Amino acid sequence: MQTQQKYINLTHTIKLPMVGFGTYLIQDEDAPALVDQAIRAGYRHVDTAEAYGNENGVGLGIKTALAELGISREELVVTTKLWPGNEAWGLPAKTYESTIESLQASLAKLQLDYVDLYLIHAPFPQTQRLEQWKALVELQRQGQVRAIGVSNFNEGHIEEIKAAGLPLPDANQIELHPWSQKPDLVSYLTRNNISIIAYSSLVPLSSWRAVEGQASAKTDQMRADGADADAPFKVMAKKYGVSEAQILLRWGIQKGYAVLPKSANAARIRRNIDLFGFEIDDEDMAAIAKMDRGEGVAWHTGDPTKAT
């Protein structure tokens, strides 16, 4: 089955499918079947990370799907992320050398020769940030990763890379949804030709992060708003004849972002990629533009202009 898809030019040669399959909170043992299911449903972009502890399972799912569906490795975009360490949490920061080793470990778990996109997961305040970035540049030069990027970086962190005279990231993966629109950061990334990958697009759903231990200070308010019968996304879902999740994901696509819906539910996996048969009209896009509540619920990276 080949679902409709749109692409972002990640580099001159890499087209990033705008809808990817997110795998955060998918257990390693569940990942083979779910990733296989997602690829069967038409996803050609899979997002994992060293920190998710599921690269083995994700790799198995990819291997099975490619073999059974007769898809070539080149048709799939696979992203993984370096866990950078965090001195503030007592976790040693990865150095240049251990960053190179981390990618080798990720490739071995994924059973892949290369990944399409390798990201630094977060810009924890540490001395090794630029060393890690230099290692990613080298890995790209060697062809072990096709594109390189960052995640949860703000303008200040990217300016740090610029000031060091190093190549800029191909992408920044950040929390983006109608309640956290980050207009300044989005405009900065666009000006600098850095592709934007949105995560946690479904935060405004009442079911968001129902898993115990994953709630944040804003979760209760978000659940309450999402559960309201007159909640704006429920009204729009009805108007366009789609699900609330499809509205939230389609919003990201219309803003020009790649999106990464995660689901462990077969029907949702299929529906979450079905985003190209409708368009949110200008009036509704303008209404959503007014819903920004500032910071998201995942990472907080401090003053947006400072590389703290």
Ligand X SMILES: NC(=O)c1ccc[n+]([C@@H]2O[C@H](COP(=O)([O-])OP(=O)(O)OC[C@H]3O[C@@H](n4cnc5c(N)ncnc54)[C@H](OP(=O)(O)O)[C@@H]3O)[C@@H](O)[C@H]2O)c1
Residue numbers at the binding site for ligand X (CB under 6 A): 22-24, 47, 121, 151-152, 173, 199-202, 205, 207-210, 243, 245, 260-265, 268, 271-272, 298-299
Nearer to ligand X, 12 or 89 (CB): 89
Nearer to ligand X, 121 or 146 (CB): 121
Residue 305: how many CB atoms within 10 A of its CB? 14
DSSP 8-class letter at 72:
-
Q: Give the C-alpha distances (Å, rounded to integers) separating 265 from 33, 107, 262.
A: 11, 27, 9
Nearer to ligand X, 110 or 245 (CB): 245
Helices (H) and strands (E) in the chain, counts: 11, 10
From the CB of 69, what's the least distance to ligand X, in Å?
22
> Alpha helices, DSSP H only, in the chain?
31-40, 55-69, 96-110, 129-142, 155-163, 183-191, 219-227, 232-240, 244-255, 266-272, 282-289
Rounded to whole angstroms, the Cα distance separating 43 from 292 reads 29
DSSP 8-class letter at 77:
E
Question: The tokens of 127 are what?
Answer: 């001395």
Residue 120's Cβ-count burial label (10 Å; 0-12, 13-18, 19+) is buried
From the CB of 255, what's the least distance to ligand X, in Å?
15
Rounded to whole angstroms, the Cα distance separating 284 from 300 reads 29
Q: Which residue number places its CB atom closest to ligand X?
A: 22
Nearer to ligand X, 23 or 128 (CB): 23
Among 205, 190, 299, 201, which residue's Cα sits nearest to residue 258? 201
Nearer to ligand X, 146 or 223 (CB): 223
From the CB of 151, what's the least distance to ligand X, in Å?
4
Among 256, 248, 241, which residue's Cα sits nearest to residue 222? 248
From the CB of 264, what's the least distance to ligand X, in Å?
4
Rounded to whole angstroms, the Cα distance separating 307 from 154 reads 7
From the CB of 97, what's the least distance to ligand X, in Å?
24
Q: In the annotation, is 52 catalytic?
A: yes
- The one catalytic residue in 43, 52, 118, 188 is 52
From the CB of 8, what's the least distance to ligand X, in Å?
16
Nearer to ligand X, 142 or 214 (CB): 214
Rounded to whole angstroms, the Cα distance separating 230 from 214 reads 26
Active site residues: 52
